[in-house]
Structure 1
């Protein structure tokens, strides 16, 4: 009886969460509907001119999407090798006492507010680039990526370590019985078996980096110029919404255009999480 009640409660909670997500999506679609009526979705996503007060209307978020990709993919480029190596070390090589110390420290990193990361980046990284590289302003997409790297590392490490630990111990026992070395076992046996979990960690971290607001708002430079390199200034989508929503008139096309940009970002991050679910759906069968 108790098990049935717990199952019912879990079902209700899951149903409420799903309804909440659908409600948010529906609300954003309704708020942004006039924009989709005035501008085609393709022109909105691929357009590079953003001036919602101009005549004719200019609503294109292609520049902001490109800035978002520069920061998010750049963060993954730095974080994935570090995160996977750290996860392998914790799961396979670290002494138990050391792993017991490192895991809580990594978990604490996820609880630090993003504005603190952004503040530290603005006072340390921006100043460093200004002084050492003679830049008029040290803000850049690269600075934002560096801070995002620190922010997504705990997600990559914890998820990847869980994927490695979920592999049945029989694989380790058989491999060691055949006389293979521990590095060979890790690289040639365990990593291929854990590939779904590792890919899931990367996808989860990409969605986290793409949706981050405060850190990129403080470090990316916030210029609507099409970024041509990792070291250019830019304005990712979350920064655009955070900067302009408070100054836009409620009900105007500017206001509704920001909701449309938020809807694109939400669908993008939601798609990343759906990919994560697909990669990890057969975890119970012993494939991480």
Structure 2
């Protein structure tokens, strides 16, 4: 009876998991179809290459000039820069909490780090505009301290908790036998962690990077307040720019439904979603190749 009960429970849990996964996939597919339908006139009129690689954003012109290359580059500068700053800090903090931190200290640090995820993004943006932008203006004698770099710094603070929480969970999921074997062989704690545990947990840690990159790429308010919102191709990390989410947030409220401007913003949203999906697929393919090679 016990084994039958366990089998029934496992079947029920598996059915629930499959149902949730199916519904989630269908919702994502429905969202993509809806956005594609709303933006289809732009794709058919401008073309994929003209929309993605065009350098002019004048949707109210006749005919409209719609190209989002500068916004795509700004998005990659902001999200990639945030990940460049946050990844070493997040991984280091996760390794410390999972393997080296005394329990009382870890019990204090974990809730504090998790609490950072609950702070609204507009608060981060406000603090960045009041402190970070002002610091750049005074320290470097700039007319305005807004830049893609300032946005990346704030985004890095916002995504670090996601990297820490998921990376620490991945490290703790490594089978304890590896730790016992390392201790029995007399290897140092540092060697055991960096050469054995981290490679075993790399899939979960890369998954944390994917989550953080998606959050950074889709963040709106903090980027809107710090990036400078300049519709020109940024030449460096320290230039101003207008990432895709900021463009949608700034202009969607002033558009007329059904207009070319409105449809173009839906096309921008579709590009943003596909960029996040492409990053997820690319990192998963990289992980599978590393595992086969290992």
Q: Distance in 1 between matches of 2:286 and 2:84?
A: 20
Q: Distance in 2 between matches of 1:106 and 1:275?
A: 28
Report the equivalent of 2:209: 202
Alpha-carbon offset, residue 14 of structure 1: 3.5
Alpha-carbon offset, residue 249 of structure 1: 1.6
Report the equivalent of 1:42: 49
Report the equivalent of 2:225: 218
| RMSD (Å) for aligned C-alpha atoms | 1.9
1:34-90 superposed Cα distances (whole Å, 9 cap, x missing partner): 001101112211211111122343111110000001111111111011011101100
For structure 1, the residue ranges without an aligned partner over 5 or more in a row are none
Q: Distance in 1 between matches of 2:80 and 2:43?
A: 28
Report the equivalent of 2:3: none
Maintained 8 Å contact 1:71/1:144 = yes
Q: Distance in 2 between matches of 1:158 and 1:278?
A: 23
Maintained 8 Å contact 1:196/1:279 = no
- TM-score, normalised relative to structure 2: 0.90
DSSP 3-state at the match of 1:230:
coil
2:116 is equivalent to residue 143 of structure 1: no
1:152-192 superposed Cα distances (whole Å, 9 cap, x missing partner): 00111111111111111111111122221111111111122
Maintained 8 Å contact 1:75/1:145 = yes
Q: Distance in 1 between matches of 2:207 and 2:273?
A: 18
Maintained 8 Å contact 1:216/1:236 = yes
- TM-score, normalised relative to structure 1: 0.92
1:196-255 superposed Cα distances (whole Å, 9 cap, x missing partner): 222221122111101100100000000011111111000000000000111112111111
Q: Distance in 2 between matches of 1:278 and 1:162?
A: 22
Structure 2 counterparts to residues 26-175 of structure 1, below 5 A: 26-175=33-182
